[in-house]
Amino acid sequence: MPAAPPDIIPDFSPLLAERHVALAVSGGSDSTALMHLAADWTRVNHPGLLLTVLTVDHGLRAGAAAEAVQVGQWAAGLGLPHHVLRWDEEPKPVTGIQARARAARYGLMAAWCRARAATALLTAHTLDDQAETVLMRLSRTTRPESLAGIRPAGDWQGLPLLRPLLRLKRQALRDWLSDLGQPWIEDPSNEDARYERVRARRA
């Protein structure tokens, strides 16, 4: 397996004090890269660390269940346990879908982590996400203190959130995955211009 080039090696050193952490993996390029990078780092630097892969099926697209199964197969290939969490709220919201889905996703993963003694959740936010977030906030305010971007560390309902890919570019991660021969899943909602983040990404 080709080693990750120096420009996409994240800082996983905060994990040295942990015994069990979860990875949020949808199957997109960013989270699939996170899964590979974390597995590689753990194998060499902290073999006693348990990594668990979590995938949330929001029930919003017909193909989501099959995609979650695919993520489980990729995780198994890396020797990582995988769990699918389902957003069972019905009916699904018709407005503010992305915000509601995000809250549900993090709520489900935080509850799973608390129940299984996982002490942190890693997400795959990249430098591209950072730029999109600042652009979205810029469209709402001119106050400098309101323009803060995504932070490398945060929390959700008291659960620490770590974002080790935040300084990395999405294309560099995709190039590395291609070198590995590792595919990823393209979510069609990422091309839906009804969503503000998609419009920011295109801008």
What is the chain's pLDDT, residue by residue, as a tens digit (203 residues)?
667 877 888 999 999 999 999 999 999 999 999 999 999 999 999 999 999 999 999 988 889 999 999 999 999 999 999 999 999 988 877 788 888 999 999 999 999 999 999 999 999 999 998 877 656 556 566 665 555 568 899 999 999 999 999 999 999 999 999 999 999 999 766 554 444 545 445 55
Per the CB < 8 A criterion, the answer to whether 156 and 112 are in contact is no
Query: 3-state SS of the chain?
Result: CCCCCHHHCCCCHHHHHCCEEEEECCCCHHHHHHHHHHHHHHHHHCCCCEEEEEEEECCCCCCHHHHHHHHHHHHHHCCCCEEEEECCCCCCCCCCHHHHHHHHHHHHHHHHHHHCCCCCEECCCCHHHHHHHHHHHHCCCCCHHHCCCCCCEEEECCEEEECCCCCCCHHHHHHHHHHHCCCCCCCHHHHCCCCHHHHHHHC
C-alpha–C-alpha distance, residues 79 and 45, integer Å: 16
- Which pLDDT does position 194 carry in this prediction? 45
pTM of the shown model = 0.85
